[in-house]
Amino acid sequence: MNVLAHITGAAEAGIAFKAGRSAIELAAEVAAAAVADAGLQLADIDGLAVVKGADLLPGDRPSPELADYLGISVSYVDNTLVGGVSPIIQIGHAADAIAAGRCARVLVVYSSAQATNRERKLAGHARPADHQVTIAERAAGLPFPIGPNALAAARHMWEHGTTLEHLAAVAVSDRQWAQLNPGALRRDPLTMADALASPAICSPLRKIDCCMITDGAGAVVVESARSSSPRAVQVRGFAEYHKQYSILSVEDLLTTGAVRTGPAALQEAGASIADVGIVQLYDAFTILPIVLLENLGFAEPGKGGQFVLDGNTMPGGRLPMNTQGGGLAHCHPGMYGIFLVIEAVRQLRGEATGRQVPDPRVAVAHGSGGGAFGGSQATLVLAAP
Amino acid sequence: MTGQETVGGQDLSGLRPLPVTVCPSCQAAYAYYRAVCTRCGTTTEKRELLLAGHVYSAATVHRPSAGFEPWTPYTVALVVCDLGPRVLAMTASTQIDDRVVVGLAALGQANVPFAFPCPPGDLS
């Protein structure tokens, strides 16, 4: 039984289409809630991980700024920024730092007021006008981040016969879970007919294939493998992999780094695919969890869409996925990684009121980031207390 | 080039070479400028080429990027070029797996990478 660390606290705050508050206010609120959930005081925290970003914490040195705002001093900071997966990677790095004795209790915070700030549009995060990769990527008018996802979806349809119905099934699956979650932002019913009638944005992707643009904050507390709290979720395996940054460097849009991180993290955890009771897979667009289900080994190559359409990921299915509603229906404050982990923690603790999966023992939280589609990947394997 | 394709009623047959980065040692080519060849470490050179390749995937944009409103909806292809680089290019009639040639076409005030069906025997 390999235990790398424990997640002892988890919290969300400010989840709203517009919270009307700044990112650092939401960060402080969610930090306090996560620390309290861990049974700690803010003064107990000696490591801090937070993502820097234009619509996140506004300053250019977010760790000392947030530490100061929280009134804490720390012996470890991490500002890893590789896209939406970043907080998952920060949790993996925190486990290593704790094991190395650099610190004992790391607070991993993500906070964004992008919707309130109106800094995020369909065109994605702003990049400098003279950024040569951006110039090359956008010269033909492909919108980001949806464009690379649409290209992946079109290729999946061409190679494997995936259909619009397969894509829509992911949105329907997420929505069914969201309807069980009072905290989810999109809770109105979504039928397959509704989904298929959704307007095209970047074909083959339609509006219902896209995550929301919301505010929100999430935080977890990572402590040592020796923690004995009855609510401490075990961090059992972690792996990260970074391939291309640009869509212009992708060899194969349908094979992400998840084909490496999934097996590596499960092996470290001493677990197999069959042990996994729930998955939380990044769903910025519906094609992404389809590819991830295949790349991680939960579905046959090319059959991820059918796996979802068959109901496997929906309430009552054999592999519940995105059980809080995912980025399509729960929230999506720019980077969703921390929320994948928070929901896995709640399910493994048996605290997912209204949507609790019966006794899941092992959860996989997998995040995707990088610059285009499938660039930076990380898998976290968690086990019940 | 003899392409007769039009977009928004505009003739795009006059394709011009696309700026690319080429390694003078191993001939690797890159779609955006890199100072050093990732394959052999040689300092690269800038060139202008028409690029032959095939369409890897394509998406049709209904909510345009800024500046592309007049052409909406338009299709953007991800083209894998024979020399190595992948480029994004507007296209009017090509589909996945089609052979194409990519160059710069004047579209309004802008020069836009555009993929035409590859004429038989040309640039292969």
- Quick check: A135 contacting B, CB < 8 Å? yes
The percentage of chain B sitting over the pLDDT mark of 70, rounded to a whole number, equals: 85
Distance from CA of A159 to the nearest CA of B (A): 10
Chain B interface, best mutation among A135, A142, A157, by max B CB count within 10 A: A142
Closest partner residue to A248 among B65, B73, B86, by Cβ?
B86
Tens of pLDDT, residues A133-190: 888 888 999 999 999 999 999 999 999 999 999 999 999 999 999 999 999 999 999 9
**Inter-chain contact B85–A152, Cβ cutoff 8 Å?**
no
pLDDT of the residue at B2: 35
pLDDT at B118 over 80: no
Distance from CA of B5 to the nearest CA of A (A): 16
Please state the φ and ψ torsions of residue A140, each to the nearest 5 degrees.
Answer: -100, 10
- Quick check: A122 contacting B, CB < 8 Å? yes
Interface of A with B in 218-247 (CB under 8 A): 246-247
The answer to ipTM > 0.90 is yes
Beta strands in B33-119 (DSSP E): 45-49, 51-61, 74-81, 86-91, 99-107, 110-117
pLDDT of the residue at A58: 67
Residue whose pair of structure tokens reads 């709203």 in the numeric block: A16
- Quick check: A132 contacting B, CB < 8 Å? yes
Name residues of chain A where pLDDT drops below 70.
Answer: 1, 53-55, 58, 119-128
pLDDT of the residue at A131: 82
Count Cβ neighbours within 10 Å for each residue of A133-159 and write b for 16 or more, e otherwise.
bbebbbbbbbbbbbbbbbbbbbbbbbe
**Inter-chain contact B62–A133, Cβ cutoff 8 Å?**
no
Residue of B nearest to A157 (CA): B57
- Residues in chain A closer than 8 A to B31 (CB atoms): 136, 248
Question: Average pLDDT of B3-26?
Answer: 72
DSSP B30: E
Tens of pLDDT, residues A292-303: 999 999 999 999
**Inter-chain contact A152–B57, Cβ cutoff 8 Å?**
yes
- Residues in chain B closer than 8 A to A136 (CB atoms): 31-32, 87-88
The token pair that represents A7 in the structure block: 């997640």
Is the omega angle on the peptide bond into residue B73 within 30 degrees of 0, that is, cis?
yes
Q: What pLDDT band is residue B1 in, cutting at 50, 70 and 90?
A: very low
**Inter-chain contact A132–B32, Cβ cutoff 8 Å?**
yes
The token pair that represents A214 in the structure block: 């919301």
Question: Average pLDDT of B84-112?
Answer: 90
Chain B interface, best mutation among A244, A248, A285, by max B CB count within 10 A: A248
CB A221 within 8 A of CB A35: yes
**Inter-chain contact A248–B87, Cβ cutoff 8 Å?**
yes
Predicted TM-score (pTM) of this structure: 0.95
Question: Average pLDDT of B23-41?
Answer: 92
Instruction: Identify the residue with better confidence: A371 or B41.
Output: B41
